Amino acid sequence: MSSTARAVSTTTVGESGARVVFLHGLFGQGKNFTQIAKALEPDARSLLVDLPNHGRSTWTDRFDYAEIADLVADELRTGFAADGPVHVVGHSMGGKVAMVLALRHPDLVDRLVVADIAPASGGSLGEFAYLLDSLAAIDLASLGRRRGEADERLAERVDDARVRGFLLQNLRAHGDTFRWRANLDLLRRELPAIGGFPDVGDATFDHPVLWVAGDRSDYIRPDEHGPVMRRLFPRTTLVTVKGAGHWVHSEQPEAFVSALRTFLGLDRA
């Protein structure tokens, strides 16, 4: 079942059980968590969110984590979380949105899962800048109706077919040509803000938090990021998933689902 709000588009997977919200990373869409959500059935009903400037959600004039968290909060408060707090799972950029959501709107969040990102500035922004530039370099007007040509042109700059497939999910047909679902111009311009983390003042979130790291990723550095994570989220547990890089949920889905089920109490009788 799909629904489109004014600012935030969502899709629901499942009909019963604990309510779980998924927030994707840069270039992603809510549907990237479909298989994870299905693996939680029938013990969870999941809300897959397209964050602003992605998927079917609205485009904005700037990137601001507080504003995006507030838009998600508005959507949840009048819908999925109308009957009380929900669990929230966020990866990368979506993990930062999830953290800010929990800090600004703690009444909406029961348990929080943050996948391979820290409440800090930095990370491998050069890689994302290169990918954004690679997408922007594709002349959509000359593609006609041939989606495969977009992959051929992107292959000149991006060798990994899996990465190309993920990126080209953002391409949608429009008449005789294509358009990008993601707001590439804004995302490239606002990349420093995406790589940052806002000042949240003295806010803390005193509910259980699962912090998931990929053992082949450097986005979470416990010695450096641990103190600020524990200050903001005093009840944090760090779990490292073996054999996973930054995209933990897609690289090691079974381990990720197992961690979610245990942390969210979905396997309890």
The pLDDT of residue 1 is 39
- The residue annotated as part of the active site, out of 24, 87, 246, 249, is 246
Distance in angstroms (rounded) separating the CA atoms of residues 264 and 168:
33
Question: Percent of the chain, pLDDT > 90?
Answer: 83
- Nearest CA to 49 out of 88, 99, 78, 83 is that of 88
The pLDDT of residue 176 is 75
For residues 111 and 87, the answer to whether their CB atoms sit within 8 Å is yes
Whether 64 is a known active-site residue: answer no
Looking at 1.10.150.20, 3.40.50.1820, 3.40.50.300, 3.20.20.210, the CATH number of the domain 2-122+196-264 comes to 3.40.50.1820
Low-confidence ranges of the chain (pLDDT < 70): 1-6, 123-124, 144, 268-269
The pLDDT of residue 5 is 39
- N residues, the chain: 269
CA end-to-end distance (rounded Å), the chain: 28
Residue 153 backbone phi and psi in degrees, to 5:
-70, -40
- The residue annotated as part of the active site, out of 92, 134, 217, 250, is 92
The pairing of strands 9-13 and 44-50 is antiparallel
Whether 105 is a known active-site residue: answer no
The pLDDT of residue 148 is 84
For residues 17 and 42, the answer to whether their CB atoms sit within 8 Å is yes
Span(s) in the chain for CATH 3.40.50.1820: 2-122+196-264
What residue spans of the chain are helical by DSSP H?
Answer: 34-40, 65-77, 93-104, 125-136, 147-154, 161-167, 184-189, 191-195, 222-232, 248-251, 253-264
- The residue annotated as part of the active site, out of 139, 185, 215, 218, is 185
The residue type at 69 = A
The pLDDT of residue 233 is 98
pTM: 0.93
